Structure 1
Amino acid sequence: MATTPVGDVPTISSLEDFDNLVTKLLRHICKVVTAPSSFEELRTTHYARALHPLVKHLVDNVNHPATVHALLAVKGHFSATEDEDDRGITAARGLACELVAWRFVTHLTERDAIDHLCSDLVQRRPFQDGRPHQVADEESPLLRDREAASEELGEDDDAVLEPTGGGESFAKNYESLNALEIAAVSGAKKFLSQKAIQRIIDGMWRGDIMFWQTMSPHAVKRATVYHPKRFDPYTRLRVPLYLKIFEVLFFAAFLAFYYTVLVQRSLHAVTGTEVMLYVWLAAFAYNELVELCDAGVTFYAADFWAIWDLGIIATGMSFFICRMVGLSTDDHVTTDTAFDILSVEALFLVRLHPYFGTLLPCLKEMTKDFIKFLGLVFVLYLGFNTTFGFLARGTFSFREMNWILIKVFFGSSYLGFDVAEQVSPTLGPGLMLIFCALTQFLLLTIIICLLSNSLEKVMEHARDEYLFVYAVYVLEASTSNRLTYFLPPLNLLPLLLRPLRLFVAPDSLRACRIALLKATHWPLVALILAYENGRRAISGRKEFRSSLTTPTSSSLMRRPVSMQSPLMSHGAIGSPPGRQKNAGNLSSATGASEFESSQGRINALETLAISLKSQLQTVESLIESEKARSAALDA
C-alpha cells in the first residue's frame, strides 16, 4: 500500500464536476492501493494509513451531492475490469471504493445520508457568461483531463482510466440511478451490507423514507422522511412492505385460477375462470414491462430471479396461443398441448420467496455452477450415445438406446450391464463398464465437490449476499420515477388512458391517472391507514402503561441517551442539514460520537440529580409540616 497526499482530489460545488471527481478518485485509489487486500485488511490494517486521509478530505473539503455516486461508479469500473487483472489489485481497489463510500456516509447526518444515497444522478446545464456551460452528459466526454491523469499513473494503470460499457461514459451508464442503485449494479455488496446503509434501506422497506410526498401533476421525486400529516395517504401504495403483501395476495389468486383451470380442463369453451387467468397473466406481464422500463435493463438484470418472471410470461403466452389455435381449428391435439404447456407454468408460479434468506444466494450460485457443468456432461453423454446407438443397430433403436443410457446415468447401472451383450458381444460390456464408472463415480463426485465449494464460498459471505438481494428488491419497489403505480391486476386500467396521449397535455393526462388511481385504490389505502393507525395506537398504549408501572427516577436511570433512530422520529424532518464535524480537527467520527454520548450521559445525570433534589425538598417540606401539625395537636 502506498500513501500519497489527497490534495489533488478537487473541492467541487456542483454536479457539473462529476466527471472530474470520478477522474480524481480513480487516480487516487490507484495510487494508494497497490497490493491485493481483502476488505477486512483494508478496514483494519490499511485504513488509517492509506484511506482515512481521503475520507477526511472528502468530509472536510468536498461538498458535492454525487460523492457517493462517484465512488460507487469507480467501484463498478474496477469490477468490470477485474477479470483482466491476475494480481488481484483491481478487486482490492474496488473494495477500497466501497470502504471509503461507507466511511464517508458515517460522517453524514441522517438527512444528508438520505440525500446522498437516494438522489438520482441528474445532469444540469447552468449558464455562465451568457452561454451554456459545458457539463458532463451522455454526449460529452467523462474524463477531460485523462492525459494528465495518465501521466501520474504507472504504465500498468493506463487502461484503468478507460470507461467500460462499450466506450460510454460513467454519466451515460448511471445518469438515472441513485447511489444505492449504482451500488447494486456495480455489485458493491460490502457497502450495502453495512449497518449505516441498511438503516436507510430498512427505512425505505417500512415506508419511513418516501420518494413522493404528494399525488399531484407537479409532484417532484425526492427522498424524505415520512410524516402522516404531511404526506398524501395514496403515496403509501409505494411502500415495499405493502407491495410485497399485495404481491403475495396477487399470486395466491393467480395460483387459485391456475389450478382451477387445470382441474376443469375445458376442451371446447373458455370458462370464466380461464378468462380471469388471462387477465392475471396480462397484468403480470404488463407489470414486469413497467418495472423494466422504470428500472432500466442494467438494474433490472441485477435481479437473478427476474428469469423466473420471464418464464411465467413466456409459458403463459405459449399456452394462450396454443389454446386459441386449438379452439379456432377445433383441434383436440393442439388443445391438449396447450394444457400440457400450462402444466409447466407451475415450475415458475410456485417460486421461491426472498425470505428464505441465505438459501436463495446459495441456490443461485449452485445453479450457475451446475449449468456450467452440464456442458461437460452433454459432451461426454453425446459421445457414448452415438457409440452405443450405432453398435446396437438391429437390436435397439436410437430412441430406445438413448433412454437406456439416461436410466444408467441416473443410477440404474444394472440395466446397462443387462443389455451390454445385446448391444455388442465384444465391445458392449467394456464400454458400458467405462460409461457407468464415469457417470456413477467421476461425474457425480465432481458435481458434488463443485456444488459443495459453491455452497462454502457463498456461506462465507451469506449475510452480504442476502442483504444484496434484499436491497435490490427494495430499490426496485420504491425508487421508480413513476408517480402513479397501479397494483396488478388494476394496472391494466391505465391502458385505457393511453390513447389520450395523442391530444391531451401531459399534465392533464397525469391528473387523469391520479384520479383513476384514487378511484380504484381507495379500499387498499383505507386498509393501510387502518393498519398504521392501529399500530400507532397499540404502541402508544404500551408506552402509556409502561409509564404508569415504571417510577420516574428508575426510568431516568434505565433510558439510554440516544435510543431511538432518527428515521423513526418525525422530529427528524425539521432537523437542519449539515455534517457532524469537529471544530478545528476532525480526527475520527468515533471520537466525536463518544464525546456526544458522554456529554449526553452527563446531561441525563444532571437532570436526574435536579429531579431527586426537588423530590427531596418536597419530602422535607412534608416532614416539617407534619412536625408542625403534631406539635400543634400536642399543645
Structure 2
Amino acid sequence: MDPEQPSSALLAPTLENLASVKVFPLIPALKKDVTVYSALSWDQLTAADINFSIVRPIVNKYARLKNMAVVYACLVVRSYFLSESDCDLAFAGVMLSRASLCEILAYKLLGRFATNYIQLVAVLTTSWSPLAGATHEIIVEVKQNLGTQDVESSQSALEMAISTDAKAFLSSPVTQKVVNDIYNGTVVFSHTAHRSILADNYKPRAIEIYDPQKAPFLDHYRLRVPKYGKYFEFLNFALLLLTFILCLSTQDKTKLTIWEVAFIIFGSAFTLEEYTASTEHGWIIYIANTWNAFDFSLVVIFLVYLGLRIKGLSFNDLSTSSMAFDILSCAACILFPRLAFFAVSDNVIVLSLRAMIAQFVFFIGIAAICFSGLLFALWTLAIDNGTQQTSWPISSIAWLMVQIWFGNTSLSFDQATSFHPLLGPILMTIFAALSNTLLLTILICILSNTVARIDSNATQEHLYQFTISTIEGVKSDALFSYQPPFNLLALIILKPASWFLSPRALHSTNVFLIKLTSLPQLIIIGLYERYLSSGRRLRESGKDAAYSFYNSLPRHIKNIPLVEALVGSASNDLYDAIFEVEVAEDFDIFDESDDDAPALRSLDSRENIRASGTSPGPRHRKRPSSLNASRTSPSPQASPRQRVISTLSPNDVPQTSPRQRVISTHSPNDVFASPDVITTSFRSPLARLFNQRSPVDGPAVGEASLRRIETLLDDVRSLPVQRLKEEMKELQDRQARIENLLLMLTRGMRNESKQGTIST
C-alpha cells in the first residue's frame, strides 16, 4: 500500500465527479434571477420581507439542483455586478444591491451542503472552471472576446470570495469551520498546479480528514499546513532580520563579506517565496493580505539594493555601493515592525493600517496635484524677480511647501516676500491656511472614520484576513514545501530536471529532497501530532482525577477562594450534571384548570339565581352539599363593610374583570336572612348599595334590612365627593360595557327569531 494514499476511504467526491459538474449554465441563470430594482442596504436585503419574497424562493430553486458549484457561481455573478457598478454610475446603487444579494445567496446555499462535511469542504475548496458545461460555440465566442486562446482559469469559492470582498460570506460560521480545519491541518486536500513555477501533480490527493495515527510519521504534506507555516515564517523572518543586522554592521563597500552573502541568500530565497505566492493564487488575492503589502515593499528594496550592489562591485564604484547600503538600511523600517506584527496581528489598529495607508497616499497625491499650480506660480514669481532665480529652484520651493504642509508655518511668513513683495505673502498665507487648517483636519477625519468603520467590523475584518492567510498557506507549488534558503536549491535542481524526468521520477526526487532538507521539522511535527496534540485524552483523564480529588475534600476546604479559583466552581459541574440526566417521565407542573379558565364570563341575574338555586356562571359545576354545610357564618359583631368571600373553585370566578364579583352558593333566602352576612363582594358601600336589589317575589324587607341600608347610607356620607364621582363614573362605564356586550351576544338570537317569524 502506498503510504501517501489516504488512510481511510471517505465519502468524498471523486475527481471524476467534480470534473463533470456543469458550472457555466448556473452563471446566466443566476444573473437573470437576481432581480433587485432598488438600491437596498445590507440590512434591508436581510430583512424578513425581502428574505421571504426574494431570497428564499431563489435559494429553494437552486438548492434542488444539488450542484456543488452553485456557491462559486453566485460569487462569479457578484463579481459581474461589482464591475458593472464601477462602469455604470447611474445604476451603481442597484448593481451593488444585486452584488450583495449574490453574497447572501452564496452563504444561504452553502448551508444546504452543511449536512455532509466532506461535501461542504469540496464546495469551498474545489477549483471550478467557469466554462465547465458550456457549448463549443460559447467557448469560441469567449475566446474571441478575450482575444486569446488560453481560457483556462479556475478558482475555488473561497478564492472567489476573497477577490470579490465577500467578507460576510467568509466570516459566516459554516465557512469559518472549514477554514479553521484547513488552518489546523484537520482537512487535507491538494490542488492541481496550473500556474506554479515547479509543479508536481503526480499524486493529487482527494479530500480527507487527517488522522495522525494512520498517516506516515515523516509526512512531507504537513509542511504545507498553514498553522505550521506561520511558525516557519516567523523563524525565517527572524533569520532574515539577523543576517540583515549583521550585514549592515559588517558592511564593506569594496567586497562581499560572509554576512552579506548570507543576507543575499536569505533575501533571494524570501523574494522567490513571495513571487511564488503571488503566482500561485494571483496578484489580487496576494495583495489583499495586509502583510503581503509590507513584504512586497521589502522585496522592492532588496532588489534595488542588489542591483546597485552588483553595479558598484562590477565597476568599482564606491558611491553606488554606498547608495546600495543606504537604500538597504531603509528596509529596517519594514523588517522590525513586520516581525513584531506576528504577536499583535489581531489588533484593530493593525487591521486598519493598510486601509489608512492607502487613503493617506491617495489624499496626499490629490493634494500634491492641487498644489502643483501654486508651485509653478511661486517658481514663476521667483524668476520674474531676477535676483532670486538662482536661490529658488523648483526643488527648493517644493521642499519648502512640504515643510509648511507638515506644520512649519513660520517658513511661509519668513520667505513669502522673497517671491514677490505683494503676491508672495498672499499666496503663502492661503497655502498655510489650507494645508494646516483645512486639509489636515479633513485627513484626520478620514483616517478616524476608517478606524471607526473597521473597529465596528473588527471581527469580520480579522476573519477576512485570517481566511486570506489560510488559503495562501495551502499551495500546490512544490517549492513551498522547502524552507528558505533550500527553495533556491530545489529550484536549481528540480526545475531543469522537470524537463526530462517522468512525473513519477520527478515526484520521487521531490519527496526525497523535501525529507532531506526538512528532516528536523518533520520529526517535530510527527512527535507533536502523535503525543502532544492528540494527547488530549491524557490531559482530560488528569483533569478528571483532579476533580475527583477536589470532590473528596471537606466542604470548608472547597469553599476557600484560592482552591475554587484553581480548580473551578462546583456550581458549573452541578449544572452540567443536571442537564446530563435523562428524565424518563414528564413532570405535570401545570394545572389543567388553568387551560379551562374562560377569558370572558357573564354572571347570571339574581332572578335566575333564585330560580335555580345554584351558583351562577355558564360553567356551573355542582358541588357536594357538605361544602355548604361546612361554611360558618361570620360573627354578629362583624363590621357591615366586612366582605365574606365564599369558597368557589377557580373556574367559577371571572378572571378578566379587574373588579370581580364573587357570589356565594347560598340560597337566595339566606342572602337577606341576616344583616351581617354579605355574600357579594364589592369595593365600596356605594357599590354594594347600587348592586343590592330587593327580590321581586321574596319576603318583605324587615327591620334588619332597613338598619343595614341606613348603615350603608352613613358609610356613603363619610366618603369624599371626588371618590363618589369616580365610582359613579366607573359604574356607568361598566354598565355601558355590559349593555354593549349583551347586545353583541343577543344579536344572533334576535336575527334568528326574525328569520323564524318571516319563514312562518
TM-score over 0.5 (shorter chain): yes
Structure-2 residue corresponding to 1:382: 372
Q: CA deviation at 1:252?
A: 0.8
For residues 37-48 of structure 1, what are the structure 2 equivalents within 5 Å?
Answer: 37-45=40-48, 46-48=50-52
Q: How many Å separate the matches in 2 of 1:505 and 1:14? A: 25
Q: How many Å separate the matches in 2 of 1:117 and 1:377? A: 44
Q: How many Å separate the matches in 2 of 1:328 and 1:216? A: 38
Corresponding residue to 1:497 among 494, 497, 500: 494
Structure-2 residue corresponding to 1:206: 184
Q: Against the structure 1 CA distance between its residues 310 and 297, is the aligned structure 2 distance closer, same or farther, given a 3 Å change threshold?
A: same
Deviations 1:402-427 (A, max 9, x none): 43333222212122212323333333
Q: Against the structure 1 CA distance between its residues 546 and 555, is the aligned structure 2 distance closer, same or farther, given a 3 Å change threshold?
A: farther
Q: How many Å separate the matches in 1 of 2:455 and 2:151? A: 31
Given that 1:295 and 1:480 are in contact with CA atoms closer than 8 Å, whether structure 2 keeps it comes out as no
Q: Structure 1-normalised TM-score?
A: 0.74
Q: How many Å separate the matches in 2 of 1:29 and 1:548? A: 59
For residues 432-581 of structure 1, what are the structure 2 equivalents within 5 Å?
Answer: 432-480=428-476, 482=478, 485-495=481-491, 496-536=493-533, 539-549=536-546
Q: How many Å separate the matches in 1 of 2:538 and 2:402? A: 66
Root mean square deviation, CA, Å: 3.5
For residues 575-590 of structure 1, what are the structure 2 equivalents within 5 Å?
Answer: none
Q: How many Å separate the matches in 1 of 2:515 and 2:402? A: 58
Given that 2:168 and 2:460 are in contact with CA atoms closer than 8 Å, whether structure 1 keeps it comes out as yes
Aligned pair 1:324/2:310, yes or no? Answer: yes
Structure-1 residue corresponding to 2:241: 255
Where 2:54 maps in the other structure, the secondary structure is helix
Aligned pair 1:265/2:251, yes or no? Answer: yes
Given that 2:23 and 2:128 are in contact with CA atoms closer than 8 Å, whether structure 1 keeps it comes out as no
Q: How many Å separate the matches in 2 of 1:200 and 1:176? A: 20
Q: CA deviation at 1:476?
A: 1.1
Corresponding residue to 1:53 among 50, 57, 64: 57
Q: Against the structure 1 CA distance between its residues 428 and 482, is the aligned structure 2 distance closer, same or farther, given a 3 Å change threshold?
A: same
For residues 376-455 of structure 1, what are the structure 2 equivalents within 5 Å?
Answer: 376-392=366-382, 393-395=386-388, 396-398=391-393, 399-455=395-451
Structure-1 residue corresponding to 2:220: 234
For residues 50-129 of structure 1, what are the structure 2 equivalents within 5 Å?
Answer: 50-59=54-63, 61-83=64-86, 84-87=88-91, 88-107=93-112, 108-109=114-115, 110-122=117-129
Corresponding residue to 2:164 among 183, 186, 195: 186
AA aligned opposite 1:435: F
Given that 1:211 and 1:224 are in contact with CA atoms closer than 8 Å, whether structure 2 keeps it comes out as yes
Corresponding residue to 1:28 among 29, 33, 36: 33
For residues 280-359 of structure 1, what are the structure 2 equivalents within 5 Å?
Answer: 280-303=266-289, 305-352=291-338, 353=341, 355-359=345-349
Where 1:80 maps in the other structure, the secondary structure is helix
Given that 1:484 and 1:513 are in contact with CA atoms closer than 8 Å, whether structure 2 keeps it comes out as no
Q: Against the structure 1 CA distance between its residues 249 and 242, is the aligned structure 2 distance closer, same or farther, given a 3 Å change threshold?
A: same
Deviations 1:91-123 (A, max 9, x none): 222222222221222232222211211122158
Where 1:18 maps in the other structure, the secondary structure is coil
Q: CA deviation at 1:436?
A: 1.4
Q: Against the structure 1 CA distance between its residues 507 and 292, is the aligned structure 2 distance closer, same or farther, given a 3 Å change threshold?
A: farther
Q: How many Å separate the matches in 1 of 2:18 and 2:376? A: 69
Q: How many Å separate the matches in 2 of 1:13 and 1:479? A: 20
For residues 363-374 of structure 1, what are the structure 2 equivalents within 5 Å?
Answer: 363-374=353-364
Q: How many Å separate the matches in 1 of 2:415 and 2:276? A: 56
Q: How many Å separate the matches in 2 of 1:544 and 1:417? A: 78
Q: CA deviation at 1:481?
A: 5.7
**Larger fraction in helix:** 1
Given that 2:68 and 2:123 are in contact with CA atoms closer than 8 Å, whether structure 1 keeps it comes out as yes
Q: How many Å separate the matches in 1 of 2:331 and 2:571? A: 61
Q: Structure 2-normalised TM-score?
A: 0.63
Q: Against the structure 1 CA distance between its residues 216 and 444, is the aligned structure 2 distance closer, same or farther, given a 3 Å change threshold?
A: closer
Q: CA deviation at 1:557?
A: 7.4
Given that 2:34 and 2:98 are in contact with CA atoms closer than 8 Å, whether structure 1 keeps it comes out as yes
State the percentage of identical aligned residues.
27
AA aligned opposite 2:359: D
Structure-2 residue corresponding to 1:221: 205
Q: How many Å separate the matches in 2 of 1:143 and 1:218? A: 31
Q: Against the structure 1 CA distance between its residues 460 and 537, is the aligned structure 2 distance closer, same or farther, given a 3 Å change threshold?
A: closer
Q: How many Å separate the matches in 1 of 2:514 and 2:520? A: 11
Structure-2 residue corresponding to 1:596: none
Given that 1:183 and 1:191 are in contact with CA atoms closer than 8 Å, whether structure 2 keeps it comes out as yes
Q: How many Å separate the matches in 2 of 1:281 and 1:317? A: 9
Q: How many Å separate the matches in 1 of 2:577 and 2:503? A: 52
Q: CA deviation at 1:300?
A: 3.0
Q: CA deviation at 1:55?
A: 2.2
Q: CA deviation at 1:273?
A: 0.6
Where 2:22 maps in the other structure, the secondary structure is helix
Gaps of 5+ in 2: 1-16, 192-198, 552-569, 586-760
Q: CA deviation at 1:312?
A: 2.0
Higher mean alpha-carbon deviation, 115-124 vs 340-349, is at 115-124
For residues 616-631 of structure 1, what are the structure 2 equivalents within 5 Å?
Answer: none
Given that 1:15 and 1:124 are in contact with CA atoms closer than 8 Å, whether structure 2 keeps it comes out as no
Deviations 1:59-86 (A, max 9, x none): 3x21222121111211222222122254
Q: CA deviation at 1:22?
A: 1.6
Given that 1:22 and 1:74 are in contact with CA atoms closer than 8 Å, whether structure 2 keeps it comes out as yes
AA aligned opposite 2:233: E
AA aligned opposite 2:265: V
Q: Against the structure 1 CA distance between its residues 300 and 259, is the aligned structure 2 distance closer, same or farther, given a 3 Å change threshold?
A: same
Given that 1:20 and 1:142 are in contact with CA atoms closer than 8 Å, whether structure 2 keeps it comes out as no
Deviations 1:446-495 (A, max 9, x none): 22222233333333433322221221111011153649621222111212
Q: Against the structure 1 CA distance between its residues 173 and 558, is the aligned structure 2 distance closer, same or farther, given a 3 Å change threshold?
A: farther
AA aligned opposite 2:527: A
Deviations 1:316-361 (A, max 9, x none): 1221222122223222211111111111222333354371443344
Given that 2:190 and 2:204 are in contact with CA atoms closer than 8 Å, whether structure 1 keeps it comes out as yes
Q: How many Å separate the matches in 1 of 2:226 and 2:517? A: 19
Q: How many Å separate the matches in 2 of 1:172 and 1:334? A: 44
Q: Against the structure 1 CA distance between its residues 301 and 295, is the aligned structure 2 distance closer, same or farther, given a 3 Å change threshold?
A: same
Give 1 or 2 for the bigger CA radius of gyration.
Answer: 2
Gaps of 5+ in 1: 1-11, 126-134, 145-162, 562-600, 611-635
Q: How many Å separate the matches in 2 of 1:240 and 1:19? A: 32
Q: CA deviation at 1:283?
A: 0.5
Given that 2:482 and 2:514 are in contact with CA atoms closer than 8 Å, whether structure 1 keeps it comes out as yes
Q: Against the structure 1 CA distance between its residues 40 and 221, is the aligned structure 2 distance closer, same or farther, given a 3 Å change threshold?
A: farther
Q: CA deviation at 1:243?
A: 0.5
Where 1:17 maps in the other structure, the secondary structure is coil
Given that 1:78 and 1:94 are in contact with CA atoms closer than 8 Å, whether structure 2 keeps it comes out as yes
